[in-house]
């Protein structure tokens, strides 16, 4: 205990080391405590040697990992001969977390201690990064600076999600990413194995799942959806896709285990099951293939099928958690289905939300009987949360907050954790899923919401970075989108907020990107980052600022921004329509009247609109600007059509503007929607000058 107390006294001044621009050691994720002392430990021979007191399989796994590392250490069979001693310490009270570790480098050698092999493994990842910064060639690094490090994770779930349904990624790609995950101390791989575009895991009882739906005649997901979402078999000359055999799955799970990564499978239900119903149409409400993507909850055969699938999935994955999806189900199908309606009557369910919860509860009970826990996207809250379910909050933080306050565990993975968003100006970047999320935006996210008290905060298990593959057709594109933002996910999950510094982290991230490029990764380069939409960086002052706005047609409750003040608050939108600066109008026109309080000279009226047709966001068909002195009798002063093609897939921003010399008190700005049901108009500010 005296030794432990002395160690912490030495650590008191360390926090400042994390805040310097080029801190040494420059680590991702950054440790909880670091002290750099004067001096360098020099190896006893030309190569640093190590000794580990791990035994059995743990020792074999650890030795195998070190043997394949770029840093060439040599194992020795006696502690006295070793430069580095990896020690299991079950007495130190500060090493109670199985992933915690301690490193001390001084003139006597390099002492590494942890309570488990996982802790020693993570300590080695830290030492490896130190060695890379110490020597120009890490392979021959045989000396390390004097350091004291104590490290423990802030959160237990530090995950990476990969969608292999929309585009298929082979085992080599997955292993390549898993190696990097381990380096950055990520410990959960969420494997999205089934979804509308393809079933990717062999189920021996139902071979038709992969025979009929693992391949399609179009490579690009967008082309497949545009051409009817039909599947083909593997023998088709145009066939694209693939699946993992159960042996493949076991290989990946074992590969991940050795890297201290748990693989969490996702088997989607009851929605996102277009592919299931293409292979087994009898499980749908209509009994027909290619009709919809929701399983029939009123059909008992649906539950037989799901249990049979799970009976083959569970033995392949030791994970305590099994993800069942549960998101974005089109529940209107169940409202029209006779079997579903009978189920609702028999179970006294008041609506289709409760019907979905009925399925979730039955599946949860089955998983619990097998010693597993149910995990699902935050839609599983609707209709009543199952007793022991864990929620993955993706539609913002609300799902995670509600779950934690109700005593349920949650994993936070909102929009800033979506790695398939553009990471720079979306007009210049490869097409993303829906917005712009920079490295800084991801890094600044705190997965533990401040509204939660201490008890509730303990239900936030962690954070996860998601990759959805709608617009990611190749491994190179996937890596470009993953790196560097996965570094921020790793640090947000591991490092306590007081030790975070974006300046320090940014420098470390670029160093890591340079390293990855030497290994053949294609990554984003922070040196050429453009940043957010320039208009959003500076408030705009104009005559309508803070004035009363009357909405002749309401904005959508989904995208309220700042409410009635949004269009005259001086704030213009970022590249991301989801960040609360853009106001959304669904299906109908955007039509507002602004009261300037008194008749005044006006010379310009302008508003900007966005187009992202992959998100059903379009430019207006036409804009009409009118003015009035009394708010009743308006005179049209400008009418402007739009010449932008609605099918243009680019991310576009355009101002529709009148300029001239007029006097008026009221300004009416009317943007006419293009008539597509479900389409959106988005604008950020009506500027009157």
> CB-side exposure of 506: number of CA atoms within 13 Å?
14
**CB-count burial class (<10 Å; 0-12, 13-18, 19+) for 665:** middle
Residues facing residue 87 across a β-bridge: 113
The residues near 453 (Cβ < 8 Å, ≥ 6 apart) are none
**By three-state DSSP, how is residue 2 classified?**
helix
Q: Indicate if 195 belongs to the active site.
A: yes
The pair phi, psi for residue 550, each rounded to 5°, is -105, 125
Reading the block at residue 225, the tokens are 């959806």
The secondary structure of residue 93, as a DSSP letter, is G
**Given the residues 167, 272, 333, 408, the one annotated as active site:** 272
- Nearest 5°: CA angle at 432, between 428 and 435? 90
Reading the block at residue 66, the tokens are 């070190």
The pair phi, psi for residue 11, each rounded to 5°, is -85, -10
**By three-state DSSP, how is residue 632 classified?**
coil
**Given the residues 151, 195, 420, 532, the one annotated as active site:** 195
Choose among 508, 475, 542: nearest CA to 177: 475
Residue with tokens 């320039």: 534
The residues near 89 (Cβ < 8 Å, ≥ 6 apart) are 95, 102, 113, 114, 115
Q: How many CB atoms lie within 10 A of CB 379?
A: 22
The secondary structure of residue 89, as a DSSP letter, is -
Choose among 451, 342, 354: nearest CA to 396: 451
How far is residue 625's CA from residue 569's CA, in Å, rounded to a whole number? Answer: 20
The secondary structure of residue 641, as a DSSP letter, is E
How far is residue 457's CA from residue 463's CA, in Å, rounded to a whole number? Answer: 13
**Given the residues 63, 328, 614, 629, the one annotated as active site:** 328
Active site residues: 195, 272, 328
């Amino acid at each position: 205990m005296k030794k432990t107390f002395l160690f912490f006294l030495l650590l008191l001044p360390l926090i400042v080391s994390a805040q310097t621009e080029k801190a040494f050691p420059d680590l991702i994720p950054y440790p909880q405590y670091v002290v750099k002392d004067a001096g360098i430990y020099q190896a006893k021979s030309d190569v640093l040697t190590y000794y580990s007191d791990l035994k059995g399989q743990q020792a074999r796994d650890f030795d195998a990992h070190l043997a394949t590392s770029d840093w060439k250490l040599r194992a020795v069979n006696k502690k006295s001969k070793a430069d580095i001693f990896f020690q299991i310490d079950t007495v130190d009270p500060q090493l109670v977390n199985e992933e915690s570790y301690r490193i001390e480098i001084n003139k006597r050698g390099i002492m590494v201690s942890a309570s488990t092999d996982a802790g020693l493994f993570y300590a080695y990842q830290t030492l490896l990064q130190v060695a890379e910064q110490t020597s120009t060639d890490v392979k021959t690094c045989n000396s390390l600076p004097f350091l004291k490090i104590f490290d423990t994770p802030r959160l237990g779930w530090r995950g990476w999600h990969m969608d292999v349904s929309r585009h298929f990624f082979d085992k080599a790609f997955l292993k390549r990413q898993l190696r990097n995950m381990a380096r950055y101390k990520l410990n959960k791989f969420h494997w999205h194995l089934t979804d509308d575009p393809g079933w990717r895991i062999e189920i021996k009882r139902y071979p038709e799942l992969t025979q009929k739906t693992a391949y399609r005649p179009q490579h690009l997901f967008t082309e497949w959806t545009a051409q009817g979402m039909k599947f083909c078999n593997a023998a088709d000359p145009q066939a694209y896709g693939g699946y993992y055999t159960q042996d493949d799955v076991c290989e990946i799970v074992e590969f991940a285990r050795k890297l201290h990564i748990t693989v969490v499978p996702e088997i989607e239900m009851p929605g996102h099951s277009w592919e299931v119903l293409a292979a087994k149409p009898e499980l749908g409400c209509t009994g027909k293939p290619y009709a919809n993507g929701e399983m029939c909850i009123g059909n008992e055969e649906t539950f037989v099928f799901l249990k049979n699938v799970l009976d083959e999935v569970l033995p392949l994955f030791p994970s305590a958690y099994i993800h069942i999806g549960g998101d974005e189900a089109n529940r209107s199908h169940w409202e029209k289905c006779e079997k579903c309606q009978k189920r609702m009557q028999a179970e006294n369910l008041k609506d289709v939300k409760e019907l979905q919860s009925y399925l979730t509860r039955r599946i949860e009970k089955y998983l619990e009987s097998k010693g597993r826990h149910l995990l699902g996207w935050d839609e599983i809250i609707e209709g009543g949360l199952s007793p022991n379910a864990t929620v993955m909050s993706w539609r913002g933080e609300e799902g995670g907050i509600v779950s934690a306050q109700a005593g349920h565990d949650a994993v936070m993975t909102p929009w800033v954790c979506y790695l398939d968003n553009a990471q720079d100006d979306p007009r210049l970047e490869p097409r993303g899923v829906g917005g712009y999320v920079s490295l800084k935006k991801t890094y600044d996210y705190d997965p533990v919401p401040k509204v939660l008290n201490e008890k509730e905060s303990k239900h936030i298990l962690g954070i996860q970075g998601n990759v959805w593959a709608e617009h990611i057709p190749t491994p190179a594109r996937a890596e470009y989108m993953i790196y560097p933002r996965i570094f921020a996910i790793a640090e947000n999950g591991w490092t306590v907020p007081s030790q975070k510094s974006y300046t320090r982290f940014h420098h470390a991230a670029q160093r890591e990107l340079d390293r990855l490029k030497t290994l053949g990764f294609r990554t984003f380069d922070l040196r050429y980052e453009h940043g957010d939409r320039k208009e959003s960086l500076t408030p705009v002052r104009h005559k309508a600022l803070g004035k009363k706005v009357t909405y002749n047609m309401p904005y959508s409750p989904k995208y309220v921004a700042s409410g009635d003040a949004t269009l005259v608050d001086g704030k213009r939108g970022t590249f991301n329509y989801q960040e609360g600066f853009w106001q959304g109008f669904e299906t109908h026109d955007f039509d507002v009247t602004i009261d300037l309080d008194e008749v005044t000279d006006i010379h310009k009226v302008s508003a900007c609109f966005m187009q992202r047709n992959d998100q059903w966001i379009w430019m207006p068909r036409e804009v009409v600007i009118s003015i009035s002195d009394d708010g009743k009798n308006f005179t049209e002063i400008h009418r402007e059509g739009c010449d932008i093609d609605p099918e243009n897939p680019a991310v576009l921003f355009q101002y529709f503007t009148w300029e001239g010399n007029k006097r008026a008190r009221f300004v009416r700005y009317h943007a006419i929607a293009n008539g597509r049901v479900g389409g959106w108009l988005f604008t950020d500010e009506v500027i009157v000058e």
